[in-house]
Structures are given as C-alpha cells and as structure tokens.
Amino acid sequence: MNIYVLLKRTFDTEEKIAINDGRIEEEGAEFIINPYDEYAVEEAINLRDEHGGEVTVVTIGEEESEKQLRTALAMGADKAVLINTEDDLEDGDQYTTVKILEAFFEDKEADIILAGNVAIDEASGQVGPRLAERLDIPYVTTITSISVDGETVQIERDVEGDVEKVETSLPLLVTCQQGLNEPRYPSLPGIMKAKKKPLEELELDDLDLDEDDVEAKTKTVDIFLPPEKEAGKVLEGEIDDQVKELVSLLRNEAKVL
C-alpha cells in the first residue's frame, strides 16, 4: 500500500507569538508539526503495519521544514519529501499548496493520502478536499476511525458531536481529527534511524512549475493578536444587591441586555 501524509510546519501556539508590522516574527518562534498532521502520521504508520507498503511524508516550505520531516521519520514513516519553495515563492495560499501537490502526485500511485483536519495557524481546512478534487479521488474529512479491507474502506467521522459512518473505496484522501489515535513520541532508536532514512528535496522546476503557475489567489490584509481579556469583577454584599449590580453591568457595560 502506497501511503502519503501531507505535513505542515506550523507555529507552536502554546508558545508566545510576536507580531511586527502585520507579520509574525519567525525569529525566536517555536515550530512544530501541525498537531492534526501528527494524527495523520500515526494512522499512516498503523495502516502500513497492518497492510504493508510504505509511508511517505510530504511538505512544502523552506529548508527549516526538514526538522519536522525528520520528526515524522523518527515516528516511523519510511520516506520524506521536501518541496523547497524558498527561492521561488515569497507568499502562497491554499491554491498555491494544492497546485504544487497536484503536480507532485501526477505520476504517483497513491492508495491513500492522509492529512490533518486543519492547520492550527490558518485553520482553513481546504487543502485536503481541494487536492482530492484535483486528483479526482474520493475524500472524507474529520475522520475518527478507519478500517481498510481490500479496496473497501469503512470510516467514522466527527459531525458536530455525533458520528457519521461512511463506506468508500481506494484510492482515497482523508483528513484526520482528534480522537483517531494517540500519536507516538519518537523513540531514541527511531531518531537514530531517521537520520539514515531517505529525504528527497524537490523544487518547482522539478515539478514543471514556475512561480506564475502557483501565484496566490488571496492576499493577507492584516495579522493581529486578539485583545487582552479585561480583569473580572467580584461582586460583594447582599445577594439582592449583587443581582442588581450584575444586571446593571450586563446592561450598561457588556451591552447584552
């Protein structure tokens, strides 16, 4: 089984993020594998261990993305591909990403492609479904369970707090949701093995693309941090007085009454 995982290098949102002149300052920021992509890597490894084949993780970005690819290899993936756009692209969007991935998969025989449900930096959830449309293969989003039997695939997916059961067939693209599995931590032997696993580096020229082919269709107007939360108020006194004060605050300050 030929299994591919779409992986993205994202900011660690649990660390402090600084904004300067409408852009996120990368210097000093921490970067990780997009957490939803970790579910995809883990499930890809589980499918390979059950059905055989190999797992290839693919990312688009700059040279620094190699670290996240090596982490996926240390988790147990077999191969990695970095499509390096550092010298070709200054900005991109979901259209850019899908156009590049479409060219990459043009000569590949993928049985299943796994991706994260969303990326925590932009959270559009567009790349997986748009890529599946371009490749003309079925896709199922927000999966929490998957079972493959030959060409038949049984899936459970999260739908607003409930579960939908879907039967489909390979080849297939799925996006992975929390609850699908528990991603493993790279072990020391895994980290050592990852150093020797193949990591291929491609550029747009290798995919017969140029900058005009992948020009972004959208533009980021501004990036800003949410306002800091104001300090809460503690109401004191008799209950009746507290209720009156609360109603007054809701009406005159919060403007919700």
> Could you tell me the residue ranges of all domains in the chain?
2-214, 226-257
What backbone torsions phi and psi does residue 228 show, to the nearest 5 degrees? -65, 145
* pLDDT value of residue 8: 95
- pLDDT of residue 145 exceeding 90, the answer is yes
pLDDT tens digits along 3-62: 999 999 988 877 777 777 767 777 777 889 999 999 999 999 999 999 999 999 999 999
* pLDDT value of residue 221: 81
Q: What is the largest CA-CA distance in the chain?
A: 75
For the chain, the distance separating the N- and C-terminal CA atoms, rounded to the nearest angstrom, is 59
* pLDDT value of residue 228: 79
Crossing angle for the helix pair 94-105 and 127-135, nearest 10 degrees?
40
* pLDDT value of residue 134: 96
* pLDDT value of residue 131: 97
Distance of CA 22 to the CA centre of its chain: 23
81-90, 100-109, 110-119, 161-170: range with lowest mean pLDDT: 81-90
pTM of the model: 0.85
- pLDDT of residue 183 exceeding 80, the answer is yes
What CATH number does the domain located at 2-214 have?
A: 3.40.50.620
